[in-house]
């Protein structure tokens, strides 16, 4: 019977993993409602105080990048090819084999690298002539792209409705309280000195997470409060 339960747990976990990859997020049982746009003024002061309103901070977050991209492509008065160039570089960096990277690198070279510094161009040319395509081949361009976006698009983004939407999501994030009801918990995927780690799937997004469950009795028995806090 125990073996059957283990098999069923494995199947449930694998199905959840497959759904998280192949299916769009499950519909939340309770619809997410963003706060009123007027929250922008409060959140802007908070984000300024915490040092969050910097290009590097916002651009490195998935939410910030998508809203900045939306602004650049659909709202900004001038075209912004830097975003597409940046996305092409990120696709290149994820490729696993030199053959795939070489093909993608040549495609990027043919379509994107005009209007940048001579030094960056020569850096890429030297590597391509030797068919040498490390994952960080286009890093000089990433730095240039970010600098251009920071100087041109970012100040306009901060004055736009897209930044208001960013503030709304950040406010929601700060005030969101998660409970066990927000997850479907599957099998144990690991064990530690103070408890177990379970695979779980978030109900509204469908994403998979590892949930650490600590055993209070075990922690007290081993006098491991400090270690447990460091683990979590």
Binding residues: 212
**Number of C-beta neighbours around residue 46 at 10 A:** 16
Rounded to 5°, angle at Cα 59 from 53 and 64: 80
Measure the CA–CA gap between 84 and 80, rounded to whole angstroms: 8
Q: Are 204 and 26 in contact (CB under 8 A)?
A: yes
Instruction: Show the tokens assigned to 83.
Output: 């975003």
Sheet holding 195-202, edge to edge: 183-191, 195-202, 208-214
Query: Long-range CB contacts (< 8 A, 24+ apart) of 175-183?
Result: 183/209, 183/211
Alpha-carbon separation of residue 197 from 3, 17, 21 (angstroms): 20, 16, 21
Measure the CA–CA gap between 71 and 76, rounded to whole angstroms: 6
Measure the CA–CA gap between 56 and 154, rounded to whole angstroms: 10
- The angle that helices 81-94 and 62-74 make with each other, rounded to 10 degrees, is 140
> Which parts are annotated binding residues for ATP?
212
Q: 64: which residues sit within 8 A by CB, 6+ positions away?
A: 57, 58, 166
Q: Which residues pair with 214 in a beta bridge?
A: 195
């Amino acid at each position: 019977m125990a073996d059957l339960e283990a098999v069923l747990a494995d199947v449930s976990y694998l199905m959840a993993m497959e759904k998280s990859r192949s299916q769009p997020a499950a519909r939340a049982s309770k619809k997410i409602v963003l706060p009123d746009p007027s929250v922008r003024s409060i959140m802007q002061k908070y984000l300024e105080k915490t040092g969050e309103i910097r290009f590097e901070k916002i651009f490195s977050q998935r939410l910030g990048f998508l809203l900045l991209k939306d602004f650049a492509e659909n709202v900004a008065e001038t075209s912004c090819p830097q975003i597409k160039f940046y996305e092409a570089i990120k696709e290149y960096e994820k490729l696993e084999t030199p053959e795939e990277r070489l093909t993608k690198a040549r495609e990027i070279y043919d379509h994107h690298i005009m209007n940048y510094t001579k030094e960056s161009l020569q850096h890429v040319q030297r590597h391509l002539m030797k068919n040498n395509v490390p994952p960080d081949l286009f890093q000089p361009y990433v730095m240039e792209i970010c600098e251009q976006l920071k100087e041109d698009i970012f100040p306009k983004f901060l004055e736009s409705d897209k930044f208001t939407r960013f503030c709304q999501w950040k406010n929601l994030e700060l005030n969101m309280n998660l409970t066990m009801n927000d997850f479907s918990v599957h099998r144990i995927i690991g064990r530690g000195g103070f408890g177990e780690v379970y695979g779980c799937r978030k109900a509204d997004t469908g994403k998979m997470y590892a949930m650490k469950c600590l055993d209070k009795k075990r922690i007290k028995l081993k006098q491991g409060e400090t270690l447990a806090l460091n683990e979590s």
